[in-house]
Amino acid sequence: MTNKKVGPPKKTYSESILKQIIYEYKSYEKPNGNISYSSVWNYAKNIWYEAQKDKDFASNELNDLKKYTSEDLWRKNNRKTGEPNPGKGLIDDTNKIKGYFITDSKNKKQQIPNVEDTVYKLHSKEDIIESLKPLEKLCLDFIEKESVLSAEMVKLKADLEYYKNKSEKQEEAIFQLARYGRSNEGLLKNVLNTGTSKSKLVADALENIFINPMEFLYEENKNEAISENVINIAERKKNLTDTYGL
C-alpha cells in the first residue's frame, strides 16, 4: 500500500487585508507611478507586520498574519497555474491605467484615459502617446459637433425671428381687417364674396394673414396640412366669420 504524501495546507489570503497593505504602503511611501513588487513586500514584512505586533492579537492570530510577509505572495507567480499570486495580482491591478467611461448621444460608450495615471505609470513616449490618443480624438469630435450645433442654432434663431415678425404682421393685419369691416361692412362683404371691388387695405390684410387667401375664402371643406409654425387658418376663418358675420 502506497502512502500518500500529505503536504502543508493551502494558504488562503484575505483580499481586504491585501488591499489594506497596499493602501497603507501607498499612504506611507507616496510613490509616483507604478509600485514595485519588492517595495510592497518589504513594507509588508518590515513595517506592516511589525505594527501588528503592537495590537491585541492572540499569538495564533499573529502567526496567521505572518503569511502576508511572504516574498512569494508579493513577487512571484503560482508554480502550478502560472498566474500571479494574490498579492502580486493586486499590485498589477493597482498599476493598471485607470480610465473613465462616458456615453455619447448615440448610447455608445467611450473610455477616456486618466492623464495622471498615464503620465506617471507609463515610461516610453510611444506608450503615453498611444494611451492619450482617444482623448485627443474625443476633443476633436466634440469641437466638430459644437461647430455643427452652433450653425444649427444660428439658423433656428433666424427662423424664430422670421416667424416672430410674421406673427406680428398677421396680428396687425387682423386688426386692420376688423377695423375696416366695422366701418365698411357692406363693401367688405362684397370684396370677400365676389372680388368685384379691389381694396389695397383688404388685399394686404388677407395676404399677411393667410398663405393662400383664396383657399380661405372659397374652399370650405378642403383639408390641408398646416405647418406647426403657422397659425391655424381654419380657426382664424371661423373666428372672423363668427365675429363679423362674413
Average pLDDT score over the chain: 77
- How much is the pLDDT for 168? 83
Q: Does the pLDDT of residue 77 top 90, yes or no?
A: yes
> What CA–CA distance (Å, rounded) separates 157 from 26?
55
Give the pLDDT confidence score for residue 46 in this predicted structure.
Answer: 95
Q: What is the mean pLDDT of residues 213-237?
A: 48
102 pairs with which residues across the strands?
Answer: 110
Burial 89-98 (b: 16+ CB within 10 A, else e): bbbeebeebe
- For the ranges 15-24, 69-78, 127-136, 222-231, the lowest mean pLDDT is seen at 222-231
Q: What is the pLDDT of residue 125?
A: 86
What integer pLDDT is reported at residue 169 of this predicted model? 82
pLDDT digits (tens, 9 = 90+) for 84-139: 999 999 999 998 888 878 777 778 777 788 888 888 888 788 888 888 888 888 88
**Residue 70 cell numbers, joined:** 511572504
A 10 A CB-CB count for 7 gives 6
pLDDT bin (cut points 50, 70, 90) of residue 217 is very low
How do residues 234-246 score in pLDDT, each as one tens digit?
A: 565 555 555 544 4
- 3-state class of 112 per DSSP? strand
Between CA 40 and CA 47 the distance in angstroms is 10
Owner of C-alpha cell 381654419: 234
At residue 177 the predicted structure's pLDDT band, cuts being 50, 70 and 90, is: low
Region for 116 from its dihedrals, namely left if φ exceeds 0, alpha if ψ lies in -120 to 50, beta otherwise: alpha
pLDDT tens, position by position, 31-57: 888 899 999 999 999 999 999 998 888
Supply 113's cell numbers. 484615459
pTM of the model as a whole: 0.51
Residue at grid coordinates 505572518: 66
Mean pLDDT check: name the lowest of 15-24, 111-120, 125-134, 217-226. 217-226
Lowest-confidence region among 29-38, 151-160, 165-174: 165-174
Decide if pLDDT at 1 tops 50: no
Residue 245 φ/ψ region, left for φ over 0, alpha for ψ in the -120 to 50 degree band, beta for the rest: left
- Domain residue ranges of the chain, discontinuous segments joined by +: 8-96, 157-244
Which cell numbers hold the place of 232?
391655424
Most confident of 157-161, 188-192, 211-215: 157-161
Say whether pLDDT at 202 is over 90: no
